[in-house]
Amino acid sequence: MGNSLHDDYRVLVLAPFGKDALLVREVLERSGIPVGVVSDVAAIARCVGGRAGAAIVAEESLDEEGIELLGRSVTAQPPWSDFPIIVLTGGGATTPYTEMMVRSRTPMGNLNLIERPLRPATLISSVRTAIRSRVRQYEIRDHLEEREQVEQELRRAHDELESLVEKRTLTLRKLSARLMRVQDEERRRIARELHDSVGQFLTGMKLNLGQLRRGSSESLESPALLNDTLDLADRAINEVRTISHLLHPPLLDELGFESAARWYVEGFAKRSGIHVVIEIAEIVERLPKEIELALFRVLQEALTNVHRHARAKNVIVDLKCSDREVSLMIQDDGLGVPAETLRAFNDGLAGGIGLAGMRERLAELSGTLEVHSEKSGTMVRATLPTVLSHSGDASSISVFNAGD
């Protein structure tokens, strides 16, 4: 043991009479053991649970009250601690102090007796043994404290995770309820479309056909009535085709994402009056159907949000594809997403039925959704892994001004 021993390993010496304290201090310090001379038992009792390596006590400094105080301290010490106490007894002779030491040995815990006159080698050996024991105790203390700290961090992490799971569960419940409402609203919208457009066309056709069936000479000889009936039939067919294509465009299955995207963007630009530029890197091989469908739904949802909320005048749709991934970006120059909605989305707590739905759809395919928004506009980027063996030249870009 060198002079580098910490004060936690200092030896407390209580020997108020004679030269024992000076002798003990001199012998131990020559061996590199830090020593602190104390004036009463209370000073030792305060260090039983730490801040000392051992105590050396002359038996004549102990009385019943001092022994009781040490006993209480030893009993109250932490589970890892077994504080070593070395008692200097009187020269081999039986004294009242010696007999008291024997009686008090059990309550004072880790107690060793050394007879006087002191032999330096015996003293040093006993103290080194006591300090080695104390070193192991401190190691156990540090391990227990470290484990307790880890357990506290785990409990804290567990509580945070439980809280997050509870929030996510609540969010999913709200999302599920909102999805059901959106489905109902979509069904009502389709019902209105069928009633107000297709239904009216069919009603007109029925009235015209009724006149033809009644067989009046005027109706049978009227080409206008027949042309009107054919026109109503064409308009009904076109309306049914439009509704059907918006629900699931056949171009997506037949020709792939690029054709379906261009068709949808062209129709969106005409319906909304928003100028849209679509840039699609040349794709040599068809993407998997699940990826194409996910990209198309993201495109639909993003452009619908632009039309409903952004008040944008221009939109850029950009698709890039590599061997590893495909990335679809929709960027507008509108008002931007409200900060609260964007923060909720980034925290994984919904953030709007459309954004949450897009993210969940992409997550099922190991994809991601990024949303960056400022007052100058919003950028939505969907990224999906792809199994393409090779891609076309990314620099080969076709530009289509859907608003023209």
pLDDT tens, position by position, 101-128: 555 555 667 888 888 888 899 999 999 9
Predicted confidence at residue 393, as pLDDT, reads 39
CATH 3.30.565.10 range(s) for the chain read 249-401
Q: What values do phi and psi take at 117, rounded to 5? A: -65, 145
Q: Which residues 6+ apart lie within 8 Å of 56 measured at CB?
A: 11, 12, 13, 14, 15, 24, 86, 87, 88, 127
382: number of Cβ within 10 Å: 27
Position 98 pLDDT exceeds 50? yes
More confident residue, 284 or 313: 313
Predicted confidence at residue 3, as pLDDT, reads 40
Predicted confidence at residue 396, as pLDDT, reads 33
| Residue entry with tokens 């996510």 | 168
Under DSSP, the state recorded for 397 is: E
Predicted confidence at residue 322, as pLDDT, reads 85
Which of 47-51, 296-300, 352-356 has the lowest average pLDDT? 352-356
Predicted confidence at residue 342, as pLDDT, reads 79
Q: Which residues 6+ apart lie within 8 Å of 203 measured at CB?
A: none
Torsion of CA 358, 359, 363, 366, to 10 degrees: 90
Predicted confidence at residue 37, as pLDDT, reads 92
Which of 108-122, 130-144, 252-266, 342-356 has the lowest average pLDDT? 342-356
Q: What's the whole-model pTM score?
A: 0.46
Amino acid at residue number 35: V
Torsion of CA 69, 72, 73, 74, to 10 degrees: 120
Position 130 pLDDT exceeds 90? yes
Average pLDDT of the chain, as a whole number: 80
Closest to 293 measured CA to CA, from 331, 327, 261, 262: 261
List own/partner pairs for 303-306 with CB under 8 A and 24 or more apart.
303/264, 303/265, 303/268, 303/276, 303/330, 304/354, 305/354, 306/272, 306/274, 306/330, 306/332, 306/334, 306/378
Q: How far apart, in whole angstroms, are the C-alpha atoms of residue 148 and residue 317?
A: 54
Topology at the third CATH level for domain 249-401: Heat Shock Protein 90 (3.30.565)
Percent of the chain with pLDDT over 70: 81
pLDDT tens for 133-184 read 999 999 999 999 999 999 999 999 999 888 888 887 777 777 676 667 766 6
More confident residue, 126 or 238: 126
Position 394 pLDDT exceeds 60? no
Residue 378, H or E segment = strand 377-385
Predicted confidence at residue 156, as pLDDT, reads 92
7-146 sits in which CATH class?
alpha beta
Predicted confidence at residue 93, as pLDDT, reads 53
Q: How far apart, in whole angstroms, are the C-alpha atoms of residue 257 and residue 292?
A: 5
CA 163 to chain centre: 11
Question: In b/e form, how buried is each residue of 334-346, taking b as 16+ CB within 10 angstroms?
Answer: bbbbeeebbebbe
Question: By the 8 A CB rule, do 79 and 49 touch?
Answer: no
List, in sequence order, every beta strand (DSSP E) within 23-168.
Answer: 35-37, 54-58, 85-89, 111-115
CATH 3.40.50.2300 range(s) for the chain read 7-146
259 token code pair: 């054709």
Which of 33-42, 199-208, 261-270, 391-400 has the lowest average pLDDT? 391-400
Which neighbouring-strand residues pair with 141? Answer: none
Predicted confidence at residue 197, as pLDDT, reads 76
Percent of the chain with pLDDT over 90: 32
Predicted confidence at residue 149, as pLDDT, reads 93
Residue range 91-110: average pLDDT?
59
